[in-house]
Amino acid sequence: MMKHLLCWLILLITASISAQNLTSLYDIEQLPQTLLSNPGASIKFNKHIGVPFLSGFRLSGVSSGLTLYDIFSDDGEDINDKLRDAIANLSEDKDYFLLKSSLDIFNAGIKINKTDYLSFGMYQDNDLFFNIPRDVLYLGQAGNVGVYNEPKSINPFKIAGDLTTVFHIGLNRAVNKRLNVGVRFKVYSSILNIKSVYNSGSFYTTRDSYNNVQNIYQDINVLIRTAGFEGFEDTWQAIKRGGDSIISIDPDTGEIEEVPQPMSVSEASLLFLDRAFFSGNYGLGIDAGFSYLLNDNLRANFSFEDLGAVYLKSDITNYRYFGDYIHDGIQVDFEDGVNNSDEYWDSFILNLEDSFNDEETYESYVSWRPTQINFSLKYSFSEVVSPCDYRVSTQRYYKYAAGIQFHGINRPSNFLYRISGFFESRLTKNTLAKVTYSLNNYSYDNLGLLLSTNFKKFNFYIATDNILSYADLARANNFSVQLGAQFVFHDN
C-alpha cells in the first residue's frame, strides 16, 4: 500500500499537467482571453462569445525537482537506487509540484458604449500546490537510520489545493487613446479545499550516554484544514449508486438482490453543478490592470489577478497534530514480575497519547487565492495600413512586436516567477504567431508558442509552453497547453 502511495505520489509529481496562465496569451489585443489576465488590456474587438466548455481549456504542470526520467528511465539501473538518489537530490524545502487546470464553462463580452467593454463568464479552476518534504519522503523510503543527530524539519510540508467554480464580471475602459484600465470582480464557490501551510517541528534519532536509541519529536505542530470533502464523497457516492437499481440473483445463494447502479450522465452533471453552485463556501476576489501606450510603438501593461479569499465555513474538518515526544525505551521496574506485561504497553501508549496529541476541529477558516501579478513592455514595429484604398476605412496594425514580460504568483512556500522575452508576428491580417522564451525558478530553456487565427468571426487559438519538452515529456520539469475556440466580432 505504502509502495503504491509513493509510486502514485511520484507519478503525480512528475507527470502532473495543469493550467498556469500562459505567457504567450498576455497582451494579445485580438484575443478575449487576454482580459482574464489583464482586465485593463488594450483590445481590438467589440463582442465575443465563447463556445461553451471549449472557449478556454488550460492544462499545465510543474515539478521543480523530479522528472519521470529520473525515476523510470530504462537504463538498467535499479529503480530503488534511482528513487533514493532522486529523493536525495531534492532540495530540503524548495521543490514543489503544481497541478493546475482550468476550464471555461462560458465566456462572453460586449462593448456597451464607445469606451467600455463588459465581459463575464464562469470557469472551473483546479489548483493543487504541494511542497515536497524531502526528509519525510526519505523517512518513508529509508527509515530513521539516516537521520542520526540531524534534526529534520517538517516545516517544508505545505499543501494548498482548491477545486473552485469562479463566476466573474469585468469592465474594460478605454480612458483615452493611450490608457486602458479594467477591473474584474469574482465570486468563488469552493467545492473542495485543503490547506496546510504553517507547520513546524522536527524529528531526529540520537543515542544517549548509554548508547540507548532516542527517537525525538520536537515542537510538532501540524494543522491540516479541509473543506467540502465529506459532501464531495456524498456526491460521489450518490453518483455511483444513485441510479435505478437492477434486480440480480446471487448465483450461490439464489437470493434476489437489488444492485445499485450509477446515475445517468445528465443526472450526475446536475448533481455536480448543484455542488459547484451551492457549495456553501464562497469568496470574493478582484483582478485589475491597465495598459498604457508610452509612445506610438511602446506599450506597458500591468495587472494582478485573484486578489481575494474564500471563506470556508461549510463541511469543515481540521486535523491538528501537536506536541513533543521522546521515545527511549520502556522502563521496567521489576515490581510485579511476570504479571504486569500489559501495564507497560498501556503506559507506553498513554504516555505517547499524552505527549503527542491529535484533535479534530470544525472551525471555519479563510483560504487566500494564489495572487498573480503580470507586467509587460511591448515594442511594435513595421506598421501596415490596409487596405491601400482611400475609398474604404483603413485598419492600421503593426506586423511585428517584441518585448519582455514578467509573471509572478504567490505560493505557500515562496514567490514563483517567470521572466520572458517574446516576438510576435502577424502572419496575415487574421493570424498571429508569438514565440516566447522564459526563465523561471526551475528552467532556463522554456520556449513557448502561440498561434491564433480567425476564420471570419470564428477564432481558434492554441498555445504551449516548454515546447522543446514535447519530444520527450519524461525529462520535462513542466509543460503547459492552452487552447480554445470562440466567436470574436471586430469593429471592422
Contact residue for another protein among 75, 255, 360, 389 (CB under 8 A): 75
Cα separation, 400 vs 358, whole angstroms = 61
Q: Is 327 in the site for another protein (CB under 8 A)?
A: yes
Three cell numbers written together for 454? 480567425
Contact residue for another protein among 467, 485, 489, 490 (CB under 8 A): 467
Cα separation, 41 vs 33, whole angstroms = 10
Q: Which is nearer to another protein, 253 or 331 (CB)?
A: 331
Q: Which is nearer to another protein, 218 or 453 (CB)?
A: 453
Q: Is 437 in the site for another protein (CB under 8 A)?
A: no
Cα separation, 189 vs 310, whole angstroms = 8
Cα separation, 50 vs 43, whole angstroms = 16
Question: Taking CA 66 as the corner, what is the angle to CA 64 and CA 68, rounded to the nearest 5 degrees?
Answer: 130
Q: Using an 8 Å Cβ cutoff, are 310 and 164 in contact?
A: yes
* Nearest residue to 172 (alpha-carbon basis) of 161, 183, 160: 183
Q: Which is nearer to another protein, 25 or 174 (CB)?
A: 25
Q: Is 81 in the site for another protein (CB under 8 A)?
A: no
Burial of 75 (0-12, 13-18, 19+ CB in 10 A): exposed
Q: Which is nearer to another protein, 266 or 428 (CB)?
A: 428
From the list 38-46, 137-145, 309-317, 352-360, the region that binds another protein by CB under 8 A is: 137-145
Contact residue for another protein among 333, 360, 363, 389 (CB under 8 A): 333
Work out the angle between the directed axes of helices 229-241 and 265-277 (0-180°, nearest 10): 160
CB of 150 to another protein, least distance (A): 13
CA count, 13 A, side-chain hemisphere, 204? 14
Three cell numbers written together for 313? 465555513
Q: How many CB atoms lie within 10 A of CB 66?
A: 20
Q: Using an 8 Å Cβ cutoff, are 83 and 72 in contact?
A: no
Cα separation, 318 vs 470, whole angstroms = 40
From the list 30-38, 70-78, 85-93, 295-303, the region that binds another protein by CB under 8 A is: 70-78
From the list 76-84, 190-198, 225-233, 412-420, the region that binds another protein by CB under 8 A is: 76-84
Contact residue for another protein among 53, 277, 278, 345 (CB under 8 A): 345
Q: Is 145 in the site for another protein (CB under 8 A)?
A: yes
Contact residue for another protein among 256, 259, 265, 338 (CB under 8 A): 338
Cα separation, 447 vs 435, whole angstroms = 7
* SS3 at position 272: helix
Q: Is 453 in the site for another protein (CB under 8 A)?
A: yes
CB of 57 to another protein, least distance (A): 12
Contact residue for another protein among 115, 237, 341, 414 (CB under 8 A): 341
Cα separation, 103 vs 125, whole angstroms = 7
- DSSP code for 210: T
Site for another protein in 199-218 (CB under 8 A): 205, 210-215
Three cell numbers written together for 186? 469574482
Contact residue for another protein among 7, 175, 366, 392 (CB under 8 A): 7
Torsion angles phi and psi, residue 10, rounded to 5: -65, -45
Q: Which is nearer to another protein, 379 or 460 (CB)?
A: 460
Q: Which is nearer to another protein, 247 or 471 (CB)?
A: 471
Q: Is 455 in the site for another protein (CB under 8 A)?
A: no
Q: Which is nearer to another protein, 164 or 464 (CB)?
A: 464
Q: Give the residues lining the site for another protein (CB under 8 A).
A: 1-3, 6-7, 68-69, 72-75, 78-80, 83, 139-145, 205, 210-215, 327-342, 344-345, 427-428, 431, 433, 449, 451, 453, 462, 464, 467, 469-474, 479, 481
